Structure 1
Amino acid sequence: MAFIITSPCKDEKAAECVDVCPVECIEEGEDMFYIDPEICIDCGACEAVCPVEAIYHEDDVPDGEKDYIQLNRDFFKS
């Protein structure tokens, strides 16, 4: 399991999450940040500092945001 960045991050890109990630699994995309589920160690550091509350543990992603689970994975496939 991993943490997931969801829609409140779109066009926000504050980057506090990047600064606190101990394994550098968060990368900047065109309009938001993404978490690499293969590298994420589930520490929760990113979730605690997100100013727009866009980060959730994969099991806790709200129903309307579930598409972001796959979007985060797909970002790192290319």
Structure 2
Amino acid sequence: MTYVIAQPCVDLKDKACVDECPVDCIYEGPRKMYINPDECVDCGACEPVCPVEAIFFEDDTPQEWADFRRADTEFFAELGSPGGASGLGPVERDHPVVAGAPVPTV
């Protein structure tokens, strides 16, 4: 099991979660942050600091955002486990679930 970053993070990317993560497993895509399920140690430090409540324990992700469980996992299928987000920097692609999400209007 791992944590998942869901829809409320799309186009927000506050990054408070990144500062709290003790294992550097939260990676940045163009529109959303992603938790690497192979690197996450399930400590939960990221969840309470998220200002938009976008982070959920995998099994507790609301049904309407179930696709984000798959998005976080599949995002790393090609990328693998680089061993820490800070050394990699932002990734230049998003998962199709995120890339296809409506852009908020102001």
TM range, smaller chain: over 0.9
5+ long unaligned stretches in structure 1: none
The two structures have a TM-score, normalised by structure 2, of 0.72
C-alpha distance in 2, partners of 1:42/1:48?
A: 13
Which residue does the alignment assign to 1:12? 12
Pairwise CA RMSD of aligned residues?
A: 0.5
TM-superposed deviation, 1:74: 1.0
SS at match of 2:77: coil
Aligned partner letter, 1:62: P
Q: Which of these two proteins has the greater Rg computed from alpha carbons?
A: 2
Which residue does the alignment assign to 2:56? 56
> How high is the sequence identity, in percent, across the aligned residues?
51
SS at match of 1:30: coil
Which residue does the alignment assign to 1:67? 67
Higher relative contact order (CA 8 A, sep 6+): 1
5+ long unaligned stretches in structure 2: 79-106
